[in-house]
Each structure stands twice: as structure tokens, then as C-alpha cells.
Amino acid sequence: MKKPNVIWFVCDQMRGQATGYNGDPNVFTPNLDNMAICGAAFSQAVSGYPLCCPFRATMLTGRYAHNHSVKIHEDKLEPSYQTLADTFNENGYETIYLGKWHLAGFKQREGRVSLMTVPREDRFRFDTWIGYENNNSQWDCHLHGHEGDTEIPHFKLIDYETDALTDMALERIKARKDSDKPFFMVVSVQPPHVPCLAPPEHRHYQAQQLELRPNVSAKHEEQARFDLSGYYAQIENIDHNVGRIMELLRTEEMIDDTHLMFFSDHGDQMGSQGAFGKCVPYEESARVPFLMGGGQPMNYYGRAGKNDCLMNHVDIAPTTLGLCGIATPDWMEGFDYSHRRTGVDFADRVHQEPDSAFLQLIGDRESGYAWRCVVTRDGWKYAAVKSGHWLMYNLNEDPYEQTNLAFNTWYHQKRCELKALLQDWITKTGDDFPLPAD
């Protein structure tokens, strides 16, 4: 029996709160919402490293950043590391990568990296790799790569990046309808990354109409409104393109044989906590959308919809393999959550799920800025820097993280418990980060 196909739709800098199914009143995401209802939605999913390059290395290797070569931004993932593509290749899959890569180690200061050529050996053994290293101009996107043995020189996408990459994906999905060989495809798009440009038909909200999160101060409101109006438009365009893929799978009668996984590498503060961008363990930066749809469940327990488990970046590769009935290689460090979609061994697997997730920023080598964080399934978060405790929140009572309990003496015992849990993660994963004294 032919194994199922898998498609990853990966976006950049989309925070988990910015969907209809997670309650954002400013954005219309009907296709993602349908996936959340009919598939599996991980509403508590986190980015274990809320920065592009380290996250992407982890999503492919299933290793924490301190256990692979991408420690900080623009580090290179060394070709000697095994990735998910290798495992799929070994199991008879065709492997296809389209879009943003950001793992070749090119530095922005060395020139426009979207016009640089990623060497064949740095494309990590995908059968087809048509992409770019990095680019922050959605209407000026250049791709290159290879398809089989054919090398493809640089060419410019004519349309908006997300639309054009989806067009390329649709063409290749349709061409493989009658293939005896299953495929693993990655569609990796830059939006909703800044600059917040989007096709005008998706710009449904003026800045003044938006409902801001309570943790956006008056000082940052103007910029937050301006940026978010475009950010939400980019997300609505992403939702539209996810819908295009799902529709093709339905019309080509491939939907029962194809798992579609949708997620982002990290979020964006967008003015929350007085910050813009990522790299912090606050909810807007660290929470990401994560959905699994398509793929006819084989032994389903009727648990479609939201799941409260803490899907993390190291879990993506093992879960992807699990959807295809492929065992997790011993070099992957994450947990396989595929039972949440397929129902296979559900009763046993659900009791093995982690009750917390480990997050980190290894930090710039010159400044030494770094932190480690643990988030628990019952709604607590604790983070420390090398010089001491940093933050602690009860997310059940304080979802917008407006009351830091890290230095509140009434919560000293809880802080000790969370610090001990974080130390367990540091020890278990082979990290060497020094936590502060109690």
C-alpha cells in the first residue's frame, strides 16, 4: 500500500494568536479555521527557538539548536547532519523543497543574499530544491536550484511571493497524482514577515479599525496599528493559498492520501510588551500556529479540533514521519504527536506526551545575550538569563503577561519548581546553560 504524501506549508513570523480559530478578531482565516475543525489544531504550539535560522535547522533535523550547527542567526547547517529529507529518501519518497531556505550561512552584510547561489551540497539531498536563501521583498523574489539532475539558474517570480510559490506547488502536486511514489513537499514562504506588503485585495482592515492586544502601550500603538494592518493582510493571503492547496487535493481526489501541515517558525511582538520582532519568550513571539489537515485518519478517536499539547519545533520532524508510519530515527530529539491526527496507539501515546516544552535563545557570540525558558501544559512560564531570573507568568490568569511573578516572594516556591523543571530540560538535552541560584 502506498504511503501518504506530506506537504508542509511554512510561513515566517506568524504568531499563533493571529488566526480566527485562536480568537483574533482582526483576521479572516476560513481555510485555516476549517483545518482546525476537521483536522488537528495545536493551539498551544511553541517555537522552541523564536528566530528563523535556528528554528529551520531544528525543523529539518529534529535536534535542539545546541545540538546542531545553527546556534544563532545566519549560521550554516553543515551538510553532514542528517535531515528529514534523508529519512524520506530512504523510505521511497520523492522530496521537494520550494521557497525560503535560510540555512546556507550567507550573511546579509555580504550583499543581497536572495541573489546568491546556494551550493548543491547545501540543499540537503532534496530531489527537487527550488528556493532562495533569504529575501525581504515579496514582489521581488528570485529563485534558483535544481529539479532532479537539471540545474535551474536564478529567475524572478512574476507574482506576489506566496501566490507564486503556491502556483509552483500546485503544478507539482497535480503532476504527481498518478505516481506510485509518495512525496514530501515543503512550501516555505517569507510572509507575514516585514515589510508588511500584501496584495491589495487582502487588505480588508484600516489601521484605525484594529483591536489591539491589551499589552500594546499607547507609545507603540501607532506603529503597531500600521504594521498589523499589513500583517493581517499577508495572513489572509496565506490563508487563501492554503485553501488553494486543499481545493486541489480535493478536486484531484488526493486529499485522503495527503497530510497538509501548516506552521510558522516563530511569531512577532508587533508592539506587545513594547517590542517589535522576535527572539523573546513572550507569547506573541513564542506561540505559533500549528495545524494538521487532509490525510484520512486511519484509526481516529473523534478528537478533531484543538489539542492542548505543547507541540515544539523538535517535534515537527518526528510527527511528520509518524503520519507516514515511519519510525523516528534515534538522532531526532522530539516527540511524535501523529496520534493526535491518526488515532494510532492513541491511548498509550497520549499518556507519554511531555507536560512542558523547552525554549531557548543561544544568543549573540559578542554580546552574550541568551536565555532559557520552560512552558508547562498547565499554564506556567519561567525564563532565566545568565545573570538571573527574568520572567514568570501564570498564563491562565494573565494571558497577556502583564504581571511578572519572577521576583514576587509569594511565588518563590513556584519559581523553584519551574527552575528545577527547566534544569531537567537543560540536563536531558545536553545543554550547558547556567541557571541562577534560587
* Residue 69, φ and ψ in degrees, nearest 5: -90, -5
- Whether residue 195 is preceded by a cis peptide bond, meaning omega within 30 degrees of 0, is yes
CB of 58 closer than 8 Å to CB of 46: no
Q: What is the mean pLDDT of residues 181-187?
A: 98
30-70 pLDDT, tens digit each: 999 999 998 999 999 999 999 999 999 999 999 999 999 99
Class of domain 5-350: alpha beta
Q: Could you confirm whether domain 356-428 is CATH 1.10.3720.10?
A: no
Q: Which pLDDT band holds residue 368 (cuts at 50, 70, 90)?
A: low
The answer to whether residue 239 scores a pLDDT higher than 60 is yes
Q: State the Cα–Cα distance between residues 98 and 352, nearest whole angstrom.
A: 34
420-429 pLDDT, tens digit each: 999 999 999 9
Q: What is the mean pLDDT of residues 209-214?
A: 95
Q: Can you spell out the DSSP letters for 22-75?
A: TT-TT---HHHHHHHHHSEEETT-B-SS-SHHHHHHHHHH---GGGSS--STT-
What is the structure's pLDDT at 123?
96
* Domain boundaries defined on the chain: 5-350, 356-428
Q: Where are the alpha helices (DSSP H) in 352-434?
A: 412-428
Look at residues 327, 322, 5 and name the one whose alpha carbon lies nearest to residue 182: 5
The answer to whether residue 301 scores a pLDDT higher than 70 is no
What is the structure's pLDDT at 302?
45
Continuous segment of H or E residues that includes residue 350: helix 346-350
The answer to whether residue 125 scores a pLDDT higher than 90 is yes
**The model's pTM:** 0.96
The answer to whether residue 418 scores a pLDDT higher than 70 is yes
CB of 335 closer than 8 Å to CB of 313: no
The answer to whether residue 110 scores a pLDDT higher than 90 is no
The answer to whether residue 348 scores a pLDDT higher than 60 is yes
What is the structure's pLDDT at 282?
98
Q: Which pLDDT band holds residue 308 (cuts at 50, 70, 90)?
A: confident
137-181 pLDDT, tens digit each: 999 999 999 999 999 999 999 999 999 999 999 999 999 999 999
Name the DSSP letter for residue 347. H
Q: Which pLDDT band holds residue 299 (cuts at 50, 70, 90)?
A: very low
